[in-house]
Amino acid sequence: MNLQANAFDAVLTRIRRRPTGQRRILFTGATIVTMDPALGVIDRGDLLVEGDTITAVGGDLGGGDLGGGDLGGGDAVVVDATGTILAPGFVDTHRHAWQTQLRRIMPDVDDLGGYVMATLAGHATVYRPEDMYIGTRLAALTAIDSGITTMLDFSHNSRTREHSDAAIQALLGTGIRGVHASMGPHFGDWDRQWPGDLARVKDRYFSSDDQLLTLRLAALATDEIAGPGLAYGPELAAAAKELGIGVSVDAVFGTASSKAVLRWAEEGILGPDVTLIHSTGLTSEAWKAMGETGTSVSLAPTSDAQIGLETAVPAVDEALSAGIRPGLSIDVEVALASDMFTQMRTLHALQRMRAVNAAYGTDRQPSRITTHDVLDFATLQGARTNGLAGVTGSLTPGKKADLLVIQAEDLNNMPLNDPIGTIVLGSDPRNISAVLINGEPRKWNGQVLDVDLPALRSAVHASRAYVLNTPAA
């Protein structure tokens, strides 16, 4: 922002002087990338946040009438955002957050089996509730730091009620817009309380429709890895329907998953409230069924390519051909990067390489995705994939104030020529000077707020030491 550090901190003090519900914050002079098809990109625009909601976006909202003084009398705190880009917060549609204290422990893992045996059959079996808490908290804070304001935590190590509670409490404590997708563990001893415990979880933590956290049921596509109890089918679909929650299905790839998708279509358990994750190596018939039922898709570009899942090619072309605009996700930090910039760039480069390669030596024109496409996947489509399209994903009046302030005049971004290109191809977490979630500043002046970093670091190291030094159960 166009402020010195001390002035920037003074603005934060003024913002926080009142509770969120009584605040008005006016950002002025920014390039606003709304990701709302009706609003587009606004050059030198203003954006007004009232309480937890975006209430106005436009070329000039009349800062002199809205603010300038103290918060008394309903005045807005005016933030001079000249030289910045305002954008919606990124939406992560699938991350196994509990593993984060083991991040990059296997950076060159060769296949899914290697990951499964080391992590799910090994380290996961010794996790205590406090390890669930630490891993999930670290993941959520890292997400906020890199501009991810919504994160779906595919929490597939719910060994006891206490493990589930710890993961949820970690999300609550960070202030992220979290989606807790609960699943029982693949291997080792556990209480077999899932999925029955989801009713208790919902009553305790998800009683309101107007809150930061939402609940989903998590499952696997087939029983090949962990047996039939974790595989999606009519029984789990009925449990989710009874609770009124969506479903996220992981490990959707290959011939077995293609057959499962067709079976689910026949059973009537596909639809917009179901998300299929990865979706690599599926048959055209499976994609047709997914498109016809409006089923959503979460791609994991670096996971598919780096770990080598089925074809190892992120299925963006297949999704678009079926009429599905996918969301994007991080997946596992034990082997992968943790930010959305990496996912967007990886998908953008791989799809365009694939398109040009397919047309090489012919007279066909390559069908290439754009930077706007991948930013759409990372924001608006991610929100839709998580069941939150009406809540977040674009800077639309009436939606919650989940937004980023990106420095466009930093060394690696100046001069600003194309704002969407600058977000996707030029920026990284260091350029994000501020993050608001539900109207609350969570990162300011380049720093994540309200975090005792030395204490967090100590807890992370202690948890890692316990997990690595305890024999698998």
Residue located via tokens 């080391």:
118
Cα angle 305, 424, 310; round to 5: 15
Pick the closest to residue 300 from 99, 424, 154 (CA basis): 154
* Tens digits of residue pLDDT in 449-470: 999 999 999 999 999 999 999 9
Other Cβ atoms within 10 Å of 177 Cβ, number: 28
User: Burial letters for 357-387: b for 16+ Cβ neighbours within 10 Å, e otherwise?
Assistant: eeeeeeeeeeeebebebbbbbbbbbbbbbbb
Last residue of a domain, one of 369, 385, 401: 385
Residue 129, in any domain of the structure: yes
Three-class DSSP category at 244: coil
For residues 45 and 131, membership in a common domain is answered with no
Q: Can you give the C-alpha Rg of the chain in angstroms?
A: 22
For residues 310 and 369, membership in a common domain is answered with yes
Residue 466, in any domain of the structure: no
Other Cβ atoms within 10 Å of 213 Cβ, number: 16
For residues 152 and 82, membership in a common domain is answered with no
Residue 464, in any domain of the structure: no
For residues 371 and 313, what is the distance between their CA atoms, to the nearest angstrom?
18
For residues 40 and 72, membership in a common domain is answered with yes
For residues 349 and 405, membership in a common domain is answered with no
For residues 318 and 417, membership in a common domain is answered with no
Residue 43, in any domain of the structure: yes
Q: Which segments in the chain show pLDDT lower than 50?
A: 64-65, 67-73
Contacts for 91 with CB less than 8 Å, ≥ 6 apart: 148, 149, 150, 151, 327, 328, 378, 379, 382, 383, 385, 386, 388, 392, 393
For residues 244 and 370, membership in a common domain is answered with yes
Residue 130, in any domain of the structure: yes
Residue 141, in any domain of the structure: yes
Residue 296, amino acid: S
Q: What is the pLDDT of residue 3?
A: 54
Peptide bond connecting 195 to the previous residue in cis, omega within 30 degrees of 0: yes
CATH number assigned to the domain comprising residue 216: 3.20.20.140
CATH number assigned to the domain comprising residue 45: 2.30.40.10
Q: What is the pLDDT of residue 9?
A: 83
Q: What is the pLDDT of residue 72?
A: 36
For residues 433 and 325, membership in a common domain is answered with no
Beta bridge partners of 178: 151
List the structure tokens of 235: 């029984």
List the structure tokens of 267: 């059973």
For residues 342 and 276, membership in a common domain is answered with yes
Three-class DSSP category at 381: helix
Beta bridge partners of 382: none
Last residue of a domain, one of 333, 360, 385: 385
Concatenating the DSSP letter of every residue in 103-116 gives TTSSTT--SHHHHI
Q: What's the start-to-end Cα distance of the chain, in Å?
A: 51
Helices (H), 213-303: 234-243, 254-267, 284-293, 301-303
For residues 399 and 328, membership in a common domain is answered with no
Cα angle 348, 150, 43; round to 5: 60
464-472 own/partner pairs: CB under 8 Å, 24+ apart = 464/101, 464/102, 466/126, 466/128, 466/131, 467/101, 467/102, 467/123, 467/126, 467/127, 467/131, 468/102, 468/123, 470/126, 471/126, 472/121, 472/122, 472/123, 472/125, 472/126, 472/188
Name the residue range of residue 425's domain: 5-89+393-448
Pick the closest to residue 216 from 244, 247, 239, 193 (CA basis): 247
Residue 455, in any domain of the structure: no
Last residue of a domain, one of 385, 403, 435: 385
Cα angle 119, 238, 154; round to 5: 25
Q: What is the pLDDT of residue 75?
A: 85
For residues 153 and 32, membership in a common domain is answered with no
Other Cβ atoms within 10 Å of 200 Cβ, number: 13
Residue 304, amino acid: D
Residue 23, in any domain of the structure: yes
For residues 355 and 434, membership in a common domain is answered with no
Structurally, how many domains does the chain consist of? 2
Three-class DSSP category at 392: coil
Q: What is the pLDDT of residue 225?
A: 80
Q: Which H helix or E strand runs over 137?
A: helix 129-145
